[in-house]
Structures are given as structure tokens and as C-alpha cells.
Amino acid sequence: MSVELRKWLCRVIPWLAGLLLAGLAGGTVLVTDGSLPSDLLGTQWMWLSAVMTVVLPLWLAGYIVNPQRTVRIVSESVQWVLMGFGAVEALHGLGQIAGIYPSNHSLFVLTGTFYNPGPYSGYLAAVLPVALYRMLILNGKKDRLSVVQYYLSMCVLLLICCVLPSGMSRAAWIASLISCGYVVLRVYRVKVKSFVSEHRYAVLGVLILGLLSASGAYFMKRDSADGRLLIGKITSRVIAASPWGEGNGRTFSAIYGDAQERYFTDCEYSESEAWVAGTPDFAFNEYLQIAVEYGVWVSVLLVTVLLVLSMIAGSRKHLAGMGGCLVSLMVFACFSYPLHIPAIVSVWLLAVMALCGEGLVMIKRKSVAVIILLPVVVAGLTASVNRYGMYSARTRAVRQWMPVRVLYHSGAFKAVAEEYGKLYDKMSWHKDFCFEYGRALYKTGSYGKAEEVLLKSMTVSGDPMILNILGRNAHESGEYGKAEMYLLRSTRRLPERVYPHYLLVKLYAEPGYFDRVKLVREAEYVLNAEPKVNSTAIREMRQEVKKILEDKKLWKNQ
């Protein structure tokens, strides 16, 4: 290789690594696919996986030919690209608030390009400390370029601050406050120490005000907060019972559903716990969820890596912005599910790669750093290729499912059973597909196959409605004992639900399985329970229960 070519590569490759890494990975947030439901993010995962297969080798090549230049360009590119996409998202959110752009969720006005305001707010909270850092370090500089950068950073900061409160995400608020506090402390460490020592009572007042604000945030959505606490409590019990993980092909939702059923069966629980219980798809704490699915050691390894990167960020002042971004993501991961949103995973990757590169530069021997970096890149490439293949197959299957799903919603269950059967091998990972297929089979009288499919769906979902359909399926096939078992499990999984008790009333009213005591007990529950929502369905169930009691001449005893 000629000297001129080598010099040219040393100049070009770092720029390719930095700009492609930041631009393409950061652009994940803008990737959309109108042919799929907004909560199915396969296209974004495919984009991010494809991007990483391109930029990871470039990142490695850039580090080999010119490590210092590559690291500097990557770090700068990542910060400005994140601020650019953060500004776009904030403007999109303001447009949704103003009614200019449609929301991606029927229940929320503000979602950005996301399908839920929670992840949207988490994304903005990760960008916020980067914008704050850039503004603080440029403050007071007089050259034209610095002034322009200062006002651009200020605009991004103000845009995010305008939108973030409207997302109503307490997790994002906490992440923003902690990460911005981290940035201020890193940039103005000496001034902060001096201020604290001189204004101790003022600082104490601010801390008290912060605690009161946290209490206010709790009471703002108390049932939601209590529900999260219950999820954390039951998830911790699962980890204590199986520290090596309980994945084995089952999703967190399925694992949690079984654990919640055991909790409400074996433990003394409060009425408030039964009231706020639900069927979550996530633990709302990524570290706990990883421990449940893959084992405590994986969660500990992840936390260790993040802490090491945080220490690297804390060792140099110019890394305060990316350090704040990482801190925001780490805090947000304690209360939400950012590792399941590809747009936020792209921010994780950008922050980790920027800080990892800075850490490798600290190693004096370049060969040692390359030896450390090479297996990381190979592992990343392997994971990216595998994930691309998986989501490519899943996305194709979902596109085939969408037109057929119209048959399900129209009640053409015989056609549904036939068409869903053709897709079952490709779609057995999707909880809604499995439930709909199992219910269609039950509706068409294919009781054996329906039970098989519904039991499979219990490995991907913890929804007690599956148990209800299993109970009805067994009831209509004449397996009354099995029907009772499934329905009782449903009542224990979510104690406040009225529907399974109504199904038990109908079961105990069967001439071949009549049980007066159990019938009266379940009927009393249906008639007297306080449902979360008084709907037409509840009123109709109660009317039917009264009729059953009248037919059995038991109504006068109520």
C-alpha cells in the first residue's frame, strides 16, 4: 500500500466510521412501515441490524488506522446527530399537540414517531443531557462557530423541555433530572462544591422539595405506581426462586403470569394488590427482566459494563455529555423497557460505542486494544445478522397475517382456522395470533387442536383470557374437571376479574357437574363484586347469573 493511499485512508475511514455510525444508527427513530401495526417494530430492528453490519467493521477499521481521530470524530458525530434527531422528534411532538400530525396511538395525543408516549419521552430524556452539555461548554466562547453551536444546542434543549412534561412519563422526568444533574456536576464540579458549602440550607430545601415532588408524581398516577411496585415484587420472587433464569422459550409475560398466579394462590395479598394487578408484557425494569429471562449473571454483567463505561465517562470532562446520555438510559431502564425499542437501542449503541472507543484509547498499547475490540465487533456482527434474519422472517409473516386477520374480526372463524393454520409455524411467536387461532378453533368445535394451540400461547403470553377460553373449550367438550381447573387458575391470576367467575357459575350449573355450594359462591361474587369498569357486559352477565339462580330455584336464598 502506497504512503499516499495510507494517508488518505487514515483521513477518510474515521469520517466514514463516525458519520455512518451516528447518522444511520440514529436514523432508526425515523424508520416507519405503514403496512404494519405501529407497535410491531420489525422494520426498525431490521434497519438497525443492517446498519450495524456496515458500521461495526468501519468502526474497527477506523480504530486500527487512526484511533485518536476515529474516537474524536465518532464522539462529536454521535452528539450532534442525537441532538438533530432529538430536535426532529420534539418538533414532531409539538405538531401532534397542535393537531398538525396524527398520533400513533388512539389513547394518546403525544407519541412522536413512537407508538407510546413512554418510550418517546425516554428517547428525549436521553438526548437532553447531551444538548445541555454542549450548551454549557460553549457558553462564553466568542468565535462565530461556537456561538452558532451554542444557540443550536440551546434550541434543542428548549424544544425538548417544552415537550417532555407533556409526555407524562415519570421515568423520563427522573432520568432527565438525574442525568442533567450529572452533567452540571461534571462541568461545574468546583463551582457546585463551593455553592453547596456556602448554601447548605438552600440545597437542603431543594432536596426536600425534590422529595415532595417525587411524592406528588406517585400520587399523580397512584394505581400505575402501585402496579409497577407489584410487578417488581413478583419479579423479584421469580429471580429468587430461579436465579439462572426461566426463559427456555417462554416470554417474560408468560413467566410473570404464572408467577402472579402462584402469588395470589399461596400468599396473603392486599385488596389494593389485587386491584392493580395486570398482565404486563414487560417488567418495567430491564435489569430485573434480563435476570428473569436469562439469569442474574447476565444482568450483573450488563450492569458491570455500564458502570465501567460510566467510570470512563467520569474520568474525562469532555465525555460528560455522552456520560449523561448513558446515565439517563440507565435510570430510565429502571422504570421502563428501553431495550425493547429499537430507536432507543440505537442510542444505547451510540453511547456505548463512543465511550468504549474513549476507553480503548486510554490503553497505551494499540495491539492490546485491538485484541479487546475484535471479539466485541465479531459478537456484534453475529448478533446483528441473526437479528436481521429473525425479524425479516417475522415481518414477512406479519404482512401475510394482516389481511387474514380481517376474517377474525368479522367472525368468519372457519376460514380463520384454515388460514391461520397455514401461518401457524411462522407466527407461533406472536401472542395475539396464537390466541386468535386458538379461539377460532374453539369456535369451530376443534376442541383438541384448540387446547394445543392455546397451551402454546401460554408460553408467549400471561393473559388470563387464554385460561378462560381453555375453560370454555373444556366445558363444551364435556371435560368439566379440566374446565374448572383452568377457570380457577384464571380467578387466581387476576382476582378482580368477574368473567371467569361467571364462567364458573355456568359450569357448576351443568346437570352433570352441578354443585350448589360452589354455584352460590361464584354467583354471589359475580353479583356483588365491584368491577373496575361497569360495562354492558357486566350487566348482561349479572342478568344471566340471576336467571340461572332462578332456574335452579336458588335466587330466593340470595
pLDDT at 472: 93
Dist. CA 331–CA 351, nearest whole Å: 14
Q: From CA 477, how far away is CA 446, in angstroms rounded?
A: 9
In the CATH scheme, what is the code of domain 404-557? 1.25.40.10
Largest CA distance in the chain: 101
Measured at the CA of 23, the angle between CA 21 and CA 24, to 5 degrees, comes to 70
Cα–Cα nearest to 461, from 426, 428, 491? 428
Beta pairing partners, 108: 105
Backbone angles phi, psi at 295, to 5 degrees: 115, 155
Residue with the three cell numbers 430485573: 288
DSSP state for residue 108 in the 8-state scheme:
B
- 78 in Cβ contact with 351 (< 8 Å): yes
Model pLDDT, residue 495: 87
Question: 381, 87 in Cβ contact below 8 A?
Answer: no
Q: Quick one: three-class SS letters along 148-215?
A: HHHHHHHHHHHHHHHHHHHHCCHHHHHHHHHHHHHHHHHHCHHHHHHHHHHCHHHHHHHHHHHHHHHH
At 285, phi and psi to the nearest 5?
Answer: -160, 105
| Whether 98 contacts 170, CB under 8 Å | no
Q: Identify whether the C-beta of residue 167 lies closer than 8 Å to the C-beta of residue 110.
A: yes
3-state secondary structure at position 107: coil
Q: Give me the pLDDT at residue 557, please.
A: 46
Break the chain into its structural domains and give their ranges. Answer: 3-390, 404-557
What is the rounded distance in angstroms from the CA atom of residue 525 to the CA atom of residue 515? 16
SS3 66: coil
- The strand pairing partners of 132, in sequence order, are none
CA-closest candidate to residue 7, choices 56, 66, 60, 58: 66
- Which cell numbers hold the place of 49? 441490524
- Is-contact 309 348, C-beta < 8 A? no
- Asked if 115 contacts 38 with a C-beta cutoff of 8 angstroms, the reply is yes
Kindly state the DSSP code that residue 145 receives in the 8-state scheme: H
Query: What is the number of residues in the chain?
Result: 558
Q: Which of 165, 180, 189 lies closest to 126 in space, CA to CA?
A: 180
**pLDDT by residue, tens only, the chain of 558 residues:** 555 555 555 566 666 666 666 777 777 888 887 777 777 888 889 988 888 888 888 777 777 777 787 778 778 888 888 998 899 999 999 999 988 888 888 788 898 888 889 899 999 999 999 999 999 888 878 788 888 888 999 999 999 999 999 888 888 999 999 998 888 888 876 666 665 566 565 556 656 665 655 555 555 567 677 788 889 899 999 999 888 888 777 889 999 999 999 999 887 787 888 888 888 889 899 999 999 999 899 999 988 988 888 887 777 777 888 889 999 999 999 999 999 999 999 898 888 888 887 777 777 676 777 777 788 888 888 998 999 999 999 999 999 999 999 989 888 899 999 999 999 999 989 999 999 999 999 999 899 999 999 999 999 998 999 999 999 999 998 899 999 999 999 999 988 888 999 999 899 988 888 888 888 888 888 888 887 777 788 888 888 888 888 877 776 544
Question: Do residues 359 and 13 lie in contact, with contact meaning Cβ atoms separated by under 8 Å?
Answer: no
| Amino acid in position 517 | V
Q: Phi and psi for 197 in degrees, rounded to 5? A: -65, -30
Question: Residue 342: CB partners within 8 Å, gap ≥ 6?
Answer: 28, 41, 44, 45, 47, 48
Q: Is 518 helix (H, G, I), strand (E, B) or coil?
A: helix
Q: What is the pLDDT of residue 558?
A: 44
Output the DSSP codes for 274-304.
HHH----SS-S-HHHHHHHHH-HHHHHHHHH
Cα-atom radius of gyration of the chain, to the nearest Å?
28
Distance (Å, rounded) from C-alpha 102 to C-alpha 107?
A: 12
- The DSSP secondary-structure symbol of 105 reads B
CA distance 185 to 187: 6
Q: Provide the CA 396 distance to its chain's centre, in angstroms.
A: 23
The amino acid at residue 28 is T
